[in-house]
Amino acid sequence: MTELKNQIKQLIISSLDLEDISIDDIENDQPLFVDGLGLDSIDALELGLAIKKEFNVKIDANSEQTKAHFASVDALADFINQNKS
Amino acid sequence: MQRRRLSPYMKMALHTLHNAKAEHTQVAVNFSSRHGDLPKTAKLLNTLVEQAPLSPTAFGLSVHNATTGIFSITGQNKAAMNAIAGGAESIIDAITDGYARVKSGLESQILINHTDSVLPEEYLCFADELQVDHSVSFLLSTQLGNDAYFELNKLSNHDVSPPSDCLPLSVQLADAFIRKEPKTVLVHQQSAWMLQYHGS
């Protein structure tokens, strides 16, 4: 699970071109959007795409739950684990 | 708009635009580029070929006038901005249009920018000029009082044969602006231009 979370953090950094930040700077339970890491809606689209590609999971753009899945690295890791094909 | 979303091409363009605009906050812009952000566009095209989904950020910033859009937003500059693509003579078109806007009194001055990147590898076989990453920006206005000025004229029936390895016209022009020689011939495959410097 730690490996998956580090993989997600690395994907966040590389797909969003985050500058001057390493995986150690992202907490597992830290909010990714607005507060915390400060990502925005364009980042959400970009990250969704990267996660779909990397982990081969389906993400429903219109689902309320999707918002919850993208809340933190912890939430994303749970979501990927449950939906990996 | 965060800096991290900007490509090297756009950073290069914004850098010279900001340097040339100096203290002017509301200044009209004529942006020109022969190929636009082709490294980015080529990546998007490759993604389409692979039938993979496109990056929304790359897609949004790949249009020809994205640079002027970002320049406008970051500097809160609401003046009119044009984005021009006119082949090898793109910068001449930007100057011609800029001159018309200044001469007709629409604007007192125009910030001209030309930016191009080295062609991506798969397009290098089409190159008809030396490949160099470059961005050139300068302010265009009509002559003020007795100040020094440049004069640009198209040469007709020129007998200057273009070298096989000529630099882009935009780079030739920037070099001539710096050198301030009384006369410089700018030459490309199908056209030649005379730039004259009139000292004050």
Which residues does chain B have with pLDDT short of 70? 1, 157-160, 162
Structural fold of domain A2-83: 1.10.1200
Concatenated DSSP letters of A33-68: BSSTT-B-HHHHHHHHHHHHHHH-----TT-HHHHH
Domains, chain B? 3-144 (3.40.47.10)
3-class secondary-structure state, position B195 = strand
Check if B78 contacts A (Cβ < 8 Å).
no
Q: How does pLDDT run across B21-76, given as a tens digit for each residue?
A: 988 889 999 999 999 999 999 999 999 999 988 998 899 899 999 999 999 999 99
- For chains A and B, what is the number of CB pairs under 8 angstroms? 21
pLDDT, one tens digit for every residue, chain A (85 residues): 889 999 999 999 999 989 889 999 999 999 999 888 888 888 999 999 999 989 999 888 777 888 889 999 999 999 999 987 6
Q: What angle do CA A41, B13, B131 make, to 5 degrees?
A: 120
pLDDT value for B157: 64
Q: Give the domain ranges of chain A.
A: 2-83
What pLDDT sits at residue A65?
Answer: 84
Global pTM reads 0.88
Residues from chain B that touch A49, judged by Cβ atoms under 8 A, are: 53, 55-56
State the best of B7, B11, B50, B57 to mutate against chain A, taking most chain A CBs within 10 Å: B57
